Structures are given as structure tokens and as C-alpha cells.
Amino acid sequence: MRALVTGGSGFIGSNVVKLLIGEGYNVRVLDNLSSGYIENIAEYVNAKKVEFIKGDITHYPEVEAAMANVDVVFHLAASVGRQRSLDNPQLDSEINLIGTVNVLEAMRKCGAKRIVYSSSAAMFGELVTPTIDENHPQNADSPYGVSKLAAEKMILAYSGIYDITGVCLRYFNIYGVNQRFDLYGNVIPIFAKRIFAGEPITIYGDGSQTRDFVNAKDVAIANLLASKSENGTDVYNLGSGESVTINWLAEKMQEIAGINVGIVYAPERPADVKHCKANADKTARVLGFKASVGLEEGLKSYLDWYKQNCV
């Protein structure tokens, strides 16, 4: 089985690559390294277990060249995150929407039949129910949310017209090994950076806001299950179905690291949602997915990795 992983040198993509290699897949990665790191997959590239193509999904000829003899596509390459999209709205749409059309067109021309798409809970926009199932209203409120939603819709449309099936996995908050701190980073790498720098953690608001965290190892498993599922085109929420407060997270990370830096509270940010938890029942029922890495265990392995690789 030959798989193309777009964005395969990124945080989640490299976890998908690792799993696919363990499963005996023939893996090709297409990535322009704009936010990914070749170090994430270097051992596989050097061992010739992964064919790495440095290329851009917004350049159609590069995508078509990477699609030769591919059976299944794991499409993760993206401009990631709300704030990045507010700073670069055109680039966000170009990569996330036009890039996805390029991937679908190349699939159609080269005969690749299945795509597993890394979508995002950002496509829901403002959350109006305490737990979010697949039918939650879709009112994306950032260029990023809109481009992820539009890409989903494009995949569903191509699946209706052509001989392609597409599974869209809407990720909630993903964390884990290979997640580095960057300016647009997520909460866990930001807290890790603070802890190891010996600086207090800043929490916006009173810290009672909740988030649903899933480890990237589990996300990789969900991608594999989605690719193999007998079920055709569909959308699934990918969360653990459990949530923790940001206060709990800050305390727990300090406890696990054995470093007490304290917490500083700053005013709440207007765009921050208060509570966010996936209803992942459909994902469990249809794809057989259940998050298996407990949050404490996952934070421990993350902090070990961060200390060795980022400090």
C-alpha cells in the first residue's frame, strides 16, 4: 500500500508517518517545510523508509508528481491556526483550500481512491452546546475555520462526483511528541517553554475554561482506522470526549516536570471559547476509535521529549 502524507514532516503528520511505517506502508511525504521539521522524519528518510519530496501543495505540478502510484492520501499540509490566518488570510485560503483542490485533482488524474483529511473543530466557530457532535452548527469565525470547512466541503463534493472517498477528521486540541513551540503555538508547548525557562505561566481569564486534548499517537491511529474503514465518505469529530480546565493543565505540567514556576492571570481574550469538548460517539461507533493515551501519561512523555529536544 503506497501512502502520500502531505505535511508529513509537521507535528501530527510525522506521528502519522511513524505509524504507517510500522504498519508496513510505502510512505511518500510532500512538505514545503514552512512549519514542519525534517528532523521529525529524518531517521525514516535516512533509512530510505520514507521518500521525502520538498514541494508545495499550492503548486499543482508538484502535487501531481507526488501522487504517482499512490493508493491513499493523508492530507495534513495546511496553514494552521486562527491567529496565523488573521495575519495571512490570503495565504491561509491558498494553502488550505486551493492546496486541497490540487490534492483532489491530482488524485482524480492519478487514480488515488481514498483521502483522509485533517480537518479542525475551528470549522464550527462559536460553540453553542457543551459537547460538540458532528451536527453542531458550522459558523466558522476565522479565515482558518472557513478554509478548513471549505476544504471539507470540497472533499465531500469530489467524493460525490468522482471515484474518490474522503474521510474528514475534525481534530480538537492535539498535543504530543514533535509539537514544538512557535509564535502561533498551542497551549501545551507554550506552557512547556515557560516551565523549562523557569518563567511563570500566563493564563488568560480565570483558568476555568476547558479543553479536550488528544495525543497525536491516537490521532495517527484514527487516521489509519479512517483509511481502512469500509465506510465511505463521512465526517467525524476527533476528541477524547473528556475535558480538563486550563488551571488543571498548568498545575499538572508543573507537577510532572518537577518545576514550580507559578501562574499569572491576565485578562480573558475575546475570541477564546469557554468550554470545548467533543462528542466522539460516532467516531467510536463507526471507526472503532477510542483515545487510548491518558492525559497524564501523554503529558509525561511530551515533557520528556520537550526537555530532550527543545530545551
Ligand X SMILES: NC(=O)c1ccc[n+]([C@@H]2O[C@H](COP(=O)([O-])OP(=O)(O)OC[C@H]3O[C@@H](n4cnc5c(N)ncnc54)[C@H](O)[C@@H]3O)[C@@H](O)[C@H]2O)c1
Crossing angle between the packed helical segments 187-197 and 295-310, to the nearest 10 degrees: 60
Q: Output the smallest distance, CB 32 to ligand X, in A.
A: 4
Q: How far apart are CA 311 and CA 162, in angstroms?
A: 48
Residue with Cβ nearer ligand X (260 or 309): 309
Confirm whether 162 is a catalytic residue: no
Instruction: State the residue number with the nearest CB to ligand X.
Output: 36
3-state secondary structure of 253: helix
Residue with Cβ nearer ligand X (31 or 134): 31
Residue with Cβ nearer ligand X (88 or 233): 88
Residue with Cβ nearer ligand X (195 or 222): 222
Q: How far apart are CA 155 and CA 173, in angstroms?
A: 23
Q: Output the smallest distance, CB 203 to ligand X, in A.
A: 18
Does residue 132 contact residue 186 with C-beta atoms inside 8 Å?
Answer: no
Q: Output the smallest distance, CB 260 to ligand X, in A.
A: 27
Q: Output the smallest distance, CB 96 to ligand X, in A.
A: 7
Active-site residue (options: 25, 44, 117, 144): 144
Neighbours of 194 (CB within 10 A): 22
Nearest 10 degrees: Cα torsion 80, 238, 306, 87: 20
End-to-end Cα separation, the chain, in angstroms: 38
Q: Output the smallest distance, CB 258 to ligand X, in A.
A: 26
Q: How far apart are CA 33 and CA 53, in angstroms?
A: 10
How many residues are given for the chain? 311
Does residue 247 contact residue 42 with C-beta atoms inside 8 Å?
Answer: no
Does residue 307 contact residue 196 with C-beta atoms inside 8 Å?
Answer: yes
Residue with Cβ nearer ligand X (76 or 192): 76
Can you give the binding site for ligand X, defined by CB under 6 A?
A: 7, 9-13, 31-36, 56-58, 76-80, 95, 99, 118, 120, 171, 173-174, 186
Q: Which residues participate in catalysis according to the annotation?
A: 144
